Each structure stands twice: as C-alpha cells, then as structure tokens.
C-alpha cells in the first residue's frame, strides 16, 4: 500500500506546478540542455580553437624555410631597395643555398672601372635611343598623313605610277 501511495504522490508531484518535479519544468530543462549540448557540438565541430590559424601559418613558414631559405633572398631584396636610394652596395653570392646546393660564385670579371663612367654611359644610351624614337615617331606621322610608311613609300610610288620601265 505504501508503494501505491508513493507512486500516486510522485504522479501528483509531476502534475503540481509548484513542485520541483513538475513535468513542464523538467521538459523545459531537458530541451534547454539539449540545445546547449547541440550548440557545444556545433562549436566543437566548426569553430577552430584559439590560435589555430596562427599555428598553421607558423607551421607553413617553418616548412617553407626548411625547403627554401627565403630569408636570404629577402635580405638580397633589401639591398635592391638601396639601389633606388643611390647608396653604393655590394652583393655577395658566396654560400647561398638553393635547395640542397650551395652557390659559390667568385667574381671573375671586375667591372669597378665602369662605375665612375656610369652617368656618362647612361647619357649616351639615352641619346642613342632618343634618336631612334624620333625617327620612329616621324615615320608614324608620315604614315598617318600619307597612309603608308616612309620605308614602304618607294614601293607605293612605283606601284601607283605604273612602275619602272623594264
């Protein structure tokens, strides 16, 4: 009889809205815990852990530096930036590593005597190119006005006037 009364009391606890065992409270807590668990599941599946991408990038940089020592080349690019500033630079290719090979390139021709004539050399080259650019532009203007180039002009004149007596 006590078992039946306890069973009926537990049923009344589930029906009583002021009881801790009220079925709607239990159902709401269960649904809330279900969605919290579902949210935690999705977070663990799709959201990476802290510093995940930073660690991946560092790992990639380390592997690349093992295969190709790019820092040596970055230092070489820094010396190229000095060229724009007009500073005198010297690039040494001694003991550069490319893959598993070491590059040892001794200086076999000394071009230091040319450096004092560099500005003069640049001026002569610019002047030489300038002359050809003027000739090219004159030819283009004549082509615009006549419809044919100066070089093709002799052939055009011969063909239009009946040609040369043969």
Cα–Cα distance measured from residue 40 to residue 33, given in angstroms and rounded to the nearest whole number: 10
Q: Which two tokens stand for residue 50?
A: 């802290």
Q: What pLDDT does 9 receive?
A: 74
**What pLDDT does residue 166 have?**
45
105-117 mean pLDDT: 68
Provide the pLDDT for residue 66: 80
What's residue 88's pLDDT? Answer: 63
Measured in degrees and rounded to the nearest 5, phi and psi for residue 96 equal -80, 140
| pLDDT at residue 12, as a whole number | 67
Q: Are 107 and 117 in contact (CB under 8 A)?
A: no
Q: Note the pLDDT of residue 96.
A: 65
- Going from N- to C-terminal start, the domains of the chain cover 2-46, 52-108, 118-160
Highest mean pLDDT among 18-22, 75-79, 86-90, 114-118: 114-118
DSSP codes joined into one string, the chain: -HHHHHHHHHHHHHH-TTSTT-HHHHHHHHHHHHHHHHHHHHHHHHSPPTTHHHHHHHHHHHHHHHHS-HHHHHHHHHHHHHHHHT-------TTEEETTEEE-----S--HHHHTTHHHHHHHHHHHHHHHHHHHHHHHHHHHHHSS-STTHHHHHHHHTT----
Q: Which residues contact 162 (CB under 8 A, 6 or more apart)?
A: none
Instruction: Give the pLDDT confidence of 1-20 residue by residue, as tens digits.
Output: 777 777 777 776 667 766 77
Mean pLDDT of 74-85: 68
Higher pLDDT, 90 or 59: 59
Mean pLDDT calculated for residue range 109-137: 85
* Residue 115 banded pLDDT, cuts 50, 70, 90: confident
Residue 158's pLDDT is 62
């Amino acid at each position: 009889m006590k078992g039946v009364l306890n069973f009926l009391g537990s049923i009344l606890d589930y029906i009583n809205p002021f009881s801790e065992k009220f079925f709607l409270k239990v159902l709401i807590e269960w649904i809330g815990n279900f969605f919290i668990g579902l949210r935690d599941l999705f977070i663990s599946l799709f959201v990476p852990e802290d510093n995940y991408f930073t660690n991946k990038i560092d790992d990639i940089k380390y592997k690349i530096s093992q295969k190709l020592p790019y820092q040596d080349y970055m230092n070489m690019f820094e010396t190229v930036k000095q060229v724009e500033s007009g500073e005198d630079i010297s690039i040494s290719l001694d003991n550069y590593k490319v893959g598993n090979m070491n590059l040892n390139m001794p200086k076999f021709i000394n071009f230091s005597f040319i450096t004092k004539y560099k500005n003069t050399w640049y001026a002569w080259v610019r002047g030489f190119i300038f002359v050809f650019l003027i000739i090219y532009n004159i030819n283009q203007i004549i082509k615009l006005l006549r419809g044919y180039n100066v070089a093709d002009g002799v052939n055009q004149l011969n063909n239009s006037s009946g040609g040369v007596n043969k």
